[in-house]
Structure 1
Amino acid sequence: MLIQKVLPFRKFLPARPAIQLLLSLLLTLVWQPSSWALQTRSDGAETTVSLRLKWFHQFQFAGYYAALEKGFYAEEGLNVHILGRDPGTSVVDDVVSGQVDFGVADSSLIVSRMNGSPVVLINPIFQHSPMVLISLAEKNILGPADLAGKSVMYQLDQDDAAIAATLSEVGLGHKDIISVPHSFDEWALLNSDVDAMSAYISNEPLAYRARGVKINLINPANYGIDFYGDNLFTSERMVNQQPETVVAFRRASIRGWVYALDHPDEIIDLILRKYKPEKSREQLAYEARSIRRMVQPDLLEVGLINRHRFDRIANIYRERNRVPRNADLAGFFVDDYLAPPDVRSMLLRWMVPLALVALAVLALMFVLNQRLKIRVSQKTRDAEEAREEVERYLSILDRHTCVMRVDSGLKVQYISVAFCQLTGYQSDQLLGKPHTVLLDQAHNEIRVGQLLEAIAAGQNWQAEVFLKRQDGEQLVMDVFAEPVMDPSGKVAGYNAVYLDMTQKKNAELLSITDTLTGLNNRNKLDSLLVKESKLVNRGSPVFSIILLDIDHFKLINDDNGHLVGDQVLREIARCLKRNIRETDYAGRWGGEEFMVICANTSLMGAETLAEMLRAKMAGTAFPEHIQVTSSFGVAEYSPGEAIDSLIKRADEGLYWAKNSGRNCVRARPCYVGSA
């Protein structure tokens, strides 16, 4: 793995799959995928493609139904046929043979690739695999180790990535259990002689419990296995011959998933009406809530991909001799076929993650040390020596990494020296206090609820939070939390690693902010104009701009001094902030010129806003009792128009206002495009 190649102290790490898995999970926090080439069809033709689902119609595939129903595919020039699971065929075989163009599979798609099948991953949709194992409670199967010698029904090499990894964690291989091909009967535990079966946590467990059947559930997430689920994929043939179609399908599908997760009731109605699932509305609603937790759209961009998590899966299959030892994932990711990232992006992509991974590994050593302490009395002298070695790294962790451990009562149980130094507190001021003691309550109420929900479900959680130092200064922190399990498998608190992002966030804000007025600067306004023009050119409502200039500003500076002139500029900025809408953007265009970008606004609406701003400014009390007025030019963007042309028309309106006596509004509505 990459980690073992780059860390100078890799020889001290125990060579255990669980440790390597945790390292892969930590990489998720810092890895950013390279930018994909965005291509669109230019000939206006409609392309017919097909998508084969991995299961029968249900909310599990809501994003694709939404993309079709809401016209997202049609907007990309695609005519899409969505096909339910065919138990008689393999989704991978259907895609590779060209019978269908796209498919959905779990992380075991890697097996096909490493065994020579030309499949290409487009996007993982579920950030966490929904695959679990269920058994009748009367079988008394409480954990993966209890499956030794038992019959287990699942889809070998198709939907078994998380299951294979879980068995590997307890030392079981494929030959240690009796593998039974999946019958696709959700009641197989009652209708056939199998001890356990694979299921989705969002589906079968609810069905069994609703029927009054007691079951036991083995969730790979509770054993540190956190793989992707429901991966959208295609074939090399499709990517090489129709790259524009692949990119368009991906873009529309992601839009569909975002819409479906935000409008679950609407999509449930669609599924019941159009796809006739074998599920009730209540079951679909439960499935929708479960899937939202697995996609995590509030924390991560839908479709976010971390290659190192797939490297972890590949290692598991190599260890189980399911793929050639020398096989790799070259050509598995769709990025490899599209436009390559520039050199700067590559440097940022590698340098920042490697720096953060060094700190993350130290945090990992701390967690490992706690687990060793629980079993120290049972360990041999070799284990004792290993514990002492880990403790040497713990002192490094304590001094250089912000770590907090929270007990089952949500009280601070441990706080690192580095964390105390960063926040200005002494450790005895924090130990025993609520785990929210350092949080800025005004900004974190929703995040605290999400954290507790994830930890209670035995899942990892990552987000950006705001802390308050003892002196009141606000800190922006990137936090990664993972649940701590007691010997019985119950959640007994959580560990959290914090990374200070304050300077980075301040630098980002400074790069787009005018330092004198606090408004958007010229660079930010330029990017907003490009963004709004692209939206209009894709069919969104028009937008307009207002360009305003302070009348006789040179005389204000000459008569009163530049300090007073700066006060006037700041007061104009405050007037703009108070009176524009939340959907508008205000910024300093240069000198005494300001711009307001009015999204989804016609020329008439922008003129009305400009006239209101003009009156507000004319009636504002400025420093030194100066009477200040401004002149306004307004223009509406026309589809296909260059940004420079739009600004020129607004500027012409401004000069017209100046020549009309100042303190007035003039609009330039006309734009004639090129023939």
Structure 2
Amino acid sequence: MLRHIPFILLFFFIAFSASAEELKPLTVQLKWQHQFQFAGFYAAVEKGFYRKAGFEVTLKQAAVGVNPIEVVLSGKADYGVANSELLLYHLKGSPVTALAVLIQHSPLVLVSLENSGIYSPQDLIGKRVMFPAGPYGANTLGLLAREGVEASQVKQVPMSFNVDDLINGQVDAMVGYATDLPYQLNEKGVAFNLIQPRSYGIDFYGDTLFTSRDRVGNKSEEVRLFRNATLAGWRYALEHPQEVIGFLQTRFRSSKDLEALQFEATAMRKLMAPTLVDLGHMNPGRWQHIGETFAALGMGPKKIDLDGFLYDPNRTVFNERMRQLIWWMVIAAALVGLLLLLLVALNWRLNRKVSAHALELAERKHREISLRLLSKAVENSHSGVLIIDSSEKVVYANPAFCEQCGLDAPELQSMNLSDVRRYLALPEIDSRCWEGSAELAVPVEVKGRFADGSERWVQVAVSPILEYPDQGVELYREPAPVSHYVFSCEDITPQKKSQEQMEKLAFYDQLTGLESRLLFKLRLENALARSARDNKMTALMFIDLDLFKKINDHYGHDVGDEVLKAVATRIRQTVRSNDTVARISGDEFTVIVSDIVDHTVVRRVAEDILNSLTKAINVAGIEHVVSVSIGIAITPSDANDVETLTKHADVAMYQAKKSGRNGVQFFSHSMNEWVREKKQLEQDMREALSERQFKLVYQPVVELTTGKLVGLEVLLRWQHPVRGSISPEYFIPLAEESGLILPLGKWLAHELIAAMQRISSVGVTGLMMSINMSPKQVRDDALLRDVSQILQRQGVDDFRLLLELTERALRDDGRNDGVNLRRLTELGFKLVIDEFGEGGVSVRMLSELPAEYIKISRQFVQECAYNVASQQAICATLALARCLGIQAIAVGVESLDQVRFLREQGCALGQGHLFSPASELEELLDRFSPDNVVMFTSAT
């Protein structure tokens, strides 16, 4: 046993040395995305400073809302980069330690437009200033406080990080980095003013490398090595900025272009002042001043205690040297013990030689077994393996590679590399690239065809095998020649197909196969650029299906999807071959008509689309007639950018719908005025709800035989303070479109309750109270809850509540509203069909609706004294009402002749100016007494 002790000690020593060479993974949380601001870290990674220190470092980008301090404290990163707010976390008890200041002067500056008149902090009073809230805004707040400006004297705007907010006048000034914001403004050709806090005595530190206090205490050697490697990276980056910029663009995929990175590098060097201050230097007095600024702004405690916050590399070096001294003493003691053991082992020298020979035999057997196992693993591997010699002749190919090429092993054995490339596009090799080195080449992706004829993608990596790789260390030696090359081929067809599928999902609509909104935008951008270059016009069609919701509601979304696919097919078959068709939302399509010289081409294409849809679409045996409204905007006359051109085409489409649907409308700039007018009226309507500009008026419904009051129709009026009286025919459609019809209906319900309670208070009971409603209100489930509340209010039981819907609305939407209508009738409401005779409701549909009243069209009533056709229409309506057990109410009665005719035909009820115009409630109460009111029951 004693003779094995030296080998055991040697084994553990070698194992320790091998483990010491393993790279320790570390994560660094950056403050923002990859840019020259973090150049030292990239240099430390790419130039091997971290690896030399024993670390494998991962650099994590940040996004909006990511706080590097919180990330490090949570353990998701080992090190981080923060600003001077790091001190505020320390003062509030967070265990953080600043390791090195990387940027000696904060890059934060205040920027305003040149013509803004803002040249100093005092000029910011009363201005809109974009700067971060909380500790991130301390730099700006400190500047304002030092110059006597209260924080309340400026309007703080949250950070959007968008310089266009400054250019477009959204803000008067904004905070940004001196390393990139001036560059952005110069690129856009915008002149600007710069306020630097340092000029006013506010000189915070910029980027600071930090870690947790526990890591400093428990892993001091790691912290020391990591800090030194980081600073070495920064020294290299400052001396070789162009090389580091190359890393950023190729290795780290920075979103900034070359000029922006060069500008940032120049600005960073000024802020870091490497020729004046050592990299990483931290001044305790300056940190003390920063802490006092936080305290003055009320952000931190007044007592500034820096204990444990500032890292002292000198103290760490002393501790490390002591540790190394102890370690070497341990090693020395081990070596002494080893020597003693070796002296003892000399007595068994002969036995050791025998054992060594036996061990060699065992190792040889082990190698043979390992080779057989390796051969079996390669033979059965799913990855293709091809080995060629230095003359490019095939030496070996495993079954997986044979399958990838579609060849068998004997065929491959007789080939060279150029022959194999006819089946699989393997990369070229150059032995000079690998002489004296066994580094792997960068994997490449190639296309091949398998034995079954299917096209496959293969990822290929080439490894050289050197003739004598185990040479001893010499001052100079000839490069080792390459004897063989090993091609490792991995089938990545599933990954490629997945990637293609993802691109298809992103760029194409899955229902219709048309291009998606994303690809449409890219196509339109290219078309506009081409038009500007070739001095030609490009037209954009915005196509919307008319009343498509009815198909979805009546027949279901499956049928609706089939209709959409049919419409997409017809549009695609109608347009020119070089036109682009896209589906950008549910029932909205776009067509890009490129390279046109006048409007006639695009008009012809649009009319062809309309004509293609005149033929009904058959889905599951049901014919669906579909029409579309098309809006057209043309560049350059209407707009030169994607967003504006799209908006103008949308406006034109909406105008086509307003003009009756199933038509084409070219954009004109006057349409924008109409859109603005519509938006202003919508805003006025919102204000009218809160300012009580709406009011209710009431028109009596009377018995034609006695003139007694039997009911009131509730009518809505809007008295605008500037526009005057606005007709319901104008604002009700807008309210339905904007969604304001629902809160407007709730307001009306509450007003109606108050009115019924007022009527009851004067002893009038039994009246019918009729409310006009829109289909959108009927479809709203919240309406049922409001109705239930109305019926539960005191004083409502004495009234007969009616809901009026026009015949046209019932024809278009009645089937969809049927469920809610029946639930309303169950709650006690009665349905009135208004404007009967104008909407074309079928007798069958009328019999299916829970209607108890119909109102004869005003046009028929006003012409009944002299127009035979109107008289016949009234007689037919009354006959139909009697057959269905429905009461009829004549609307628009203005003469006694009309009353006589209606009474002769059996019409019992009427309303109109002959009896009373629509009036306010108090005026009507003065005219009708309780004795002059009839309780109108279903038996009447």
TM-score by length of 2: 0.31
When Rg is computed on C-alpha atoms for both structures, the one with the higher figure is: 2
User: Could you say which structure has the greater relative contact order, defined with CA pairs below 8 angstroms and 6 or more residues apart?
Assistant: 1
